[in-house]
Structure formats: C-alpha cells, structure tokens
Structure 1
C-alpha cells in the first residue's frame, strides 16, 4: 500500500513538472510573439521616393527633384537650370498646387507646428524652411538638402503627403532666415508638386 502511494506521488510530481514545463514554453512563445510585434512597430517604415517636376512661371519644366525618406527627415536631391545666378530662397509650401504665373496656389510655407519663419529665428523655423539654393553663373543648380522636420510617411502631422500634398518652391531673392513669414525671399519663380 505504501509502495502504491509512493508510486502515485512520483507520477503526480512528474505530471506537475510536465505541466509547468508546458506553461513555461507557452509563456516563452507568447513573449517571443510580443517581441516580434514590438519590433515591427518600432522598425523604420519603407516609403517609396517621390519624384517632383519643377516648372517656371511660364509652365516650362526647368528641373526635377527626388525626395527620399531618411532617418529623422527627408533627403532632397535637386537639379535645375535657367535660373539667375546667386542665392535663392527655397521652401516647402503647404499645398500641392503650382498654377502659373505666380504659384500662389501653393499656399504658405509648410508649418504644421505653428512656428514663425526662419532658420535663425528663435521662434522658428517652419517645417518647410530650407537653406538657400546657390545657383552657379551658368544658371544651373545641382544640390542635396536634408529637411529634418518633415516626413513622407502618410498619416503623420508633418507628412508632405497629406490630403492636398505640398510643393517645392524656389524664390527670386535670398532668404534672410529671420523675417516672418518668408524671409523677404521675393516672388515664387519655380514650383514643383509633391504628391504620391
């Protein structure tokens, strides 16, 4: 009788250990699943580059730009010709509409954070404020610029690909980086629509 009880106890302990092992495996599997889900949420989102045709006030194509999502911002590669030599204000505007001759349909500077204009303004900058472009004596520009306050990821408050898109705009004069609302950068002479 004592032997039978002893054998029963051994079987019970073995069953209990087996059950604990199964629970532990299930917990590990659940934890691994959670880690995979978390990794998915925090990994960088893949976004296709956006090509932008740049046109002048006569509606003629004078260049192009490629916008690519990068870590903490958007990389802009731009080439254009037929511009006056020297420095020109360069901004991202809030609406993806470039109607000639003045491109006013592009709206104001892209400014989702409601700040003032200017890279040197203590109350700025707009998310769409970019460094001046330097145009060569032959009227050409070939440059790369990083816009750290915007994204191409849809659904974000600072996305350039919101419902009405956005626009790249080159101005006639140099941006002083301080004066609100556009740095005294003059007329809009080149515009390109940023849409998906």
Structure 2
C-alpha cells in the first residue's frame, strides 16, 4: 500500500474464503479516526490522486453503500479506524468476491486496487460515500513469474518502537 508520494506505508493481504475474500490491512500515516476503504476497478495506483484506479468495483451495477437499498457495490468495505498514532490493523470481509474465475473475481481484467480515503464512508452517498480524497492505494494483481518477494512491512517498526 502506497501514499501519493510513492512511499510504502503498509500492506494488504487477501485470502480466498468460503464467504468471500478476507482483506487484512495494516497501514500507517493516516489521521486518527474512520476512513472509507474500497476495491476499485483497475490495478493502477498512479499518484498523487490515484484516479487511475477508476471507480468502485461494481460488476452487478448496484448503487454505492452498505446502507443503500439498491447497494452495495461489490467493492464497498466497512470503514476502517486509524488509532491515535495513525495506524490501521484490521481484517475485513469482501463478501461475495472471489480470487478465482468469474465476474466477481478480483483478478478479472488484470486485477483491481484497494484504496483508503481521507474521510469515513457514510454508506449511502453516490458514487463513493462522500469519503474524500484517495490517500493510500495498493494494486491487486497476480504476481508475475520470477517476481521478488513482497517488500518488508514498514508498520513493523511501530511494534519495535513500542517495546
């Protein structure tokens, strides 16, 4: 996961589950409080605004928001909360999504992206829950053959400092 300057600020780990895809997010550098988080339609995280990621992943053409009667987008996730030091460490469920084949696959059309916003998602406003700027972005795509291991997690330093 990267900030608009291209600095790595954390990780997201996705895992196929019977009910969907679990998304374990560990990032730093946010203001304390609630932040919207969504899966977007393209695996592109070009800063500084991350508009390259496109709109929310919405293969069924629904309205935005878990509280909207005609929603939610498949890419809508519950808000995450950054603690007093700006760290988010949470596991979420992207219900109904898959990492396998099909129109609900996170790898369909080369992949998707995961974006954390500056403000909380209100659960109903169109098209993105009035969740503000795109602050952190990570690309969701298959690793190329011969690619290196994942980079180290910068939030691990926070744990070491607390000891």
So what's the TM-score if we normalise by structure 2? 0.86
Deviations 1:79-129, CA, capped at 9 Å, x for gaps: 011111100000000000000100000000000000000000001000000
Is there any run of 5+ residues in structure 1 with no aligned partner, and where?
1-53
1:55 and 1:63 in contact (8 A); partners too: yes
Consecutive aligned runs of 4 or more in structure 1 exceeding 4 Å deviation: none
Deviations 1:128-158, CA, capped at 9 Å, x for gaps: 000001000011110000110211003x011
Is there any run of 5+ residues in structure 2 with no aligned partner, and where?
143-163
1:74 — aligned with what? 21
Distance 2:22 2:44 in 1: 21
Deviations 1:16-44, CA, capped at 9 Å, x for gaps: xxxxxxxxxxxxxxxxxxxxxxxxxxxxx
2:140 — aligned with what? 194
Distance 1:115 1:163 in 2: 19
So what's the TM-score if we normalise by structure 1? 0.71
1:1-196 aligned within 5 A:
54-154=1-101, 156-196=102-142
- Higher RCO structure (Cα 8 Å, ≥6 apart): 2
Q: What RMSD over aligned residues (CA atoms) do the two structures have, in Å?
A: 0.6
1:93 and 1:168 in contact (8 A); partners too: yes
Deviations 1:147-173, CA, capped at 9 Å, x for gaps: 10211003x011000123100000001
Find the structure with the greater CA-based Rg: 1
| Higher helix residue share | 1
